[in-house]
Structure 1
Amino acid sequence: MQISRKRLVSILLHVLFTTLIVMVPVFLMPLKEQKDPSSKNFYNIPTIIMTAMATIACYTSAYWLYPRFLLRKKLFSYLGITLTICAFTAVISGVTTNLFSDIPTPFIWAHIVTKFFIVLFVMGTGTAYRFVMEVMKQESKQKESMTMELSFLRSQVSPHFMFNTLNSMVALARKKSDKLEPALIELSNLMHYMLYESDEEKVNLSKEIDYIQSYIDLQTLRFGHNVKILFTVNKPLPSDPCIEPMLLIPLIENAFKHGIGLIEEPEIDIRLCVEREGLLLLVQNKYNDKTIEIRDKTSGIGLVNLERRLKLLYPHKHSLYLSKNGAYFKASLKLNLHDQVSGC
């Protein structure tokens, strides 16, 4: 049976802590004890008792005091119990040392004080261990939660996108247009990307651009010369950065959905610029503010989905602006791809 990575790390940490506790008497033993000919064996009975009690104190701090008191913000109770355990362990160590050796009484008191701070250090180590484990656990939960949410958001994008794309097919079919066959070919290209590329965590930007081009070609076949469509890409850099799949298409799809209809001389202008500072997508389309649209249940999913994915994937590394200027609706998306590298 294979041991998971997390389990292996946990086991190694336990071994490390136990080894640390066992070695404490060797490195922190008073100099006099090290010079004493009767103390050539570091692990005599008092030392074994001390080591066992320190180990118990360490795990008591990690698995009882921390969750029961520190997590509940009972700081004074935690400190009181911790100091009591340290004092009790140090006294027991002093008593056993006095029983099994001929150390003078003044040195016994010095021994007790030393053991008190040793146990305090060991318990602090146990608390620190548990704190680190809790932080890692919370980060793991957050990452798992984000992964699940991103998976759900991606599952929303594809059906929503296909719903709008199939409407284009229906329109061509009703017209019995000769463009239906090439449109279906473009649709197959889109579906190939959605099935085999969109499941990847990241894709090369060039693939995303090809996907956008296929979508625009499909819309061009549907509307022909009735809609002025411009798509320009400025990509001077030789590198091919990575990006979340299907992240740019919602803004473009939104322009076609709301920029065509009861609009005189509809225009859609799409500009994509990739520079060292990042990626900039500008989408502009005409709109009719007076037109009352009958919205379906999926209306608005694309932009809401996009905003949520941007917050999860590019926190503090993106800006999305939507504005209306006269007869035009403008969308601007800027991504900081400075940390991205080619070859996803």
Structure 2
Amino acid sequence: MSALSVNSSNNNWLFKYKLYHIPFWCVYHYLWWLLAVGDPLKAAHSMFFSAYTVKILAYVVFQALAVYFNLYFLIPRYLEKNKLTEYIIYLTVTIVCAASLINTGYYLSAYLAHCTIQTMFGAEAGSFFHFFGTSLPSTVASMTLAMSIKLTKNWIQTERRQQLLEKEKLETELKFLKYQFNPHFLFNSINSIFFLIHKNPDMASASLAKFSELLRYQLYECNDQQIPLGKELTYLENFIELEKLRQNNNIDVSFEVEEPFADHLGIAPFILMTFVENAFKHVSKHTHGPNWISIKLALDQQQLNLFIANSTSTDAANEVLNYGGIGLKNVRRRLDLIYPEQYELDIQNNTNRFEVRLQLTLAEFELSSTLQMA
């Protein structure tokens, strides 16, 4: 094994167990002790090479345990779930317990120094509760600092993720304009409607309306981060109807939607469209065999279930993962950015069929400021 791989493994181990925090807590308590002593060398000597080392070690260890217990257990379990009363109670108990354990460090320091607690820490230090005057505020300060750092870190990560999301949204919209509404799609749809005008005027009129709705949705109604689920569904229906009009008659298209699809839920534009477009693009073109596409949508409370399957041919099997120029990697990336840990995507590429199963947890739809002013 090379030295580089060993160093990388050690660094991963350090970050996994957060051992790099140990120097931080040592420096943090050294600075507090320096403020109390006033002499850097004297503070360092008394902190690391004297009987006070045990007491200061108690501050380092028990405050760190209290901080991490709060950050990684109490906050996710109670505060983030709006259980404020329980969180305050358990946080108070944690602080008192940590301060009590720190107080024992005073007695252990005196014991190891072979002197009384009064001799080492003053005549007024005769009571166990006397040390709460130092240990309690110090523990509260440590936990406040840690929470501030954590909240700042989360805020920076959220801002960075929001910037990436905006960038990804713009790139995705441009790619859809390029690959989805390309001249090939537009001219074929217009030609299909043109031939229908003489053959079936009513059907041509309905198809033209769908085509108009499709363009209007693409250009004007999908500029927000979320749109009502019903609008996305209408868009899919219009797209499927136009694709059925463009495709050969030997392709059997099945589109099933379990009602109701209320607009109280929102969804990011074009999240579903990628998979639907892919099915039409890569469906088999057998002349002596079945060609089919099956699309099913169901809503279970706030979980949207999408199932898409289509017949494939050997020639299209290697191209099917490209997703119409968008790329499977980009699709997963967009899902990761918009719905982190809120989706499950299973893709199966078999010899004669291609399947996509998507489970997506949706949130309540909130009107954007633009829509509210309209």
Q: Do both share a fold (TM > 0.5)?
A: yes
| Equivalent in the alignment of 2:35 | 85
Task: Name the amino acid aligned to 1:164.
Answer: Q
C-alpha change, 1:239 and 1:115, in structure 2 (3 Å) is same
Match of 2:168 among 130, 143, 153: 153
1:73 aligns with 2:97: no
| Equivalent in the alignment of 2:152 | 137
Deviations 1:34-76 (A, max 9, x none): xxxxxxxxxxxxxxxxxxxxxxxxxxxxxxxxxxxx9682433
Task: Name the amino acid aligned to 2:33.
Answer: L
**Greater Cα shift, 188-197 or 315-324:** 188-197
Deviation at 1:223, TM superposition (A): 1.9
1:255 aligns with 2:205: no
1:205 aligns with 2:229: yes
Match of 2:347 among 316, 319, 322: 322
Contact 2:293 2:308 in 1 (8 A): yes
Say which SS state the counterpart of residue 310 (structure 1) adopts. Answer: helix
Deviations 1:89-137 (A, max 9, x none): 9xxxxxxxxxxxxxxxx998539x9998646654554443332222222
C-alpha change, 1:119 and 1:343, in structure 2 (3 Å) is closer
Deviation at 1:288, TM superposition (A): 0.7
C-alpha change, 1:238 and 1:191, in structure 2 (3 Å) is closer
Contact 1:197 1:245 in 2 (8 A): no
Task: Name the amino acid aligned to 1:110.
Answer: E
Contact 1:287 1:329 in 2 (8 A): yes
Task: Name the amino acid aligned to 1:275.
Answer: D
Radius of gyration: which is bigger? 1
Deviation at 1:249, TM superposition (A): 0.8
Match of 1:229 among 233, 253, 265: 253
| Equivalent in the alignment of 1:171 | 188
Q: Which runs of 5+ in 2 are unaligned?
A: 1-19, 40-118, 198-203, 368-374
**How many angstroms apart in 2 are the aligned matches of 1:324 and 1:192?**
34
**How many angstroms apart in 1 are the aligned matches of 2:268 and 2:150?**
27
1:341 aligns with 2:341: no
Contact 2:278 2:324 in 1 (8 A): no
**Greater Cα shift, 119-128 or 153-162:** 119-128
Give the % identical residues: 23
Say which SS state the counterpart of residue 225 (structure 1) adopts. Answer: coil
**How many angstroms apart in 2 are the aligned matches of 1:248 and 1:258?**
16
TM-score (norm 2): 0.56
C-alpha change, 1:242 and 1:287, in structure 2 (3 Å) is same
What does residue range 10-49 of structure 1 map to in structure 2 within 5 Å? none
Deviation at 1:168, TM superposition (A): 1.6
**How many angstroms apart in 1 are the aligned matches of 2:332 and 2:306?**
14
Task: Name the amino acid aligned to 2:171.
Answer: Q
TM-score (norm 1): 0.61
Task: Name the amino acid aligned to 1:341.
Answer: E
Task: Name the amino acid aligned to 1:171.
Answer: N
Match of 2:303 among 275, 278, 290: 278
Q: Which runs of 5+ in 1 are unaligned?
A: 1-69, 90-105
C-alpha change, 1:184 and 1:277, in structure 2 (3 Å) is closer
Task: Name the amino acid aligned to 2:233.
Answer: I
RMSD: 4.0
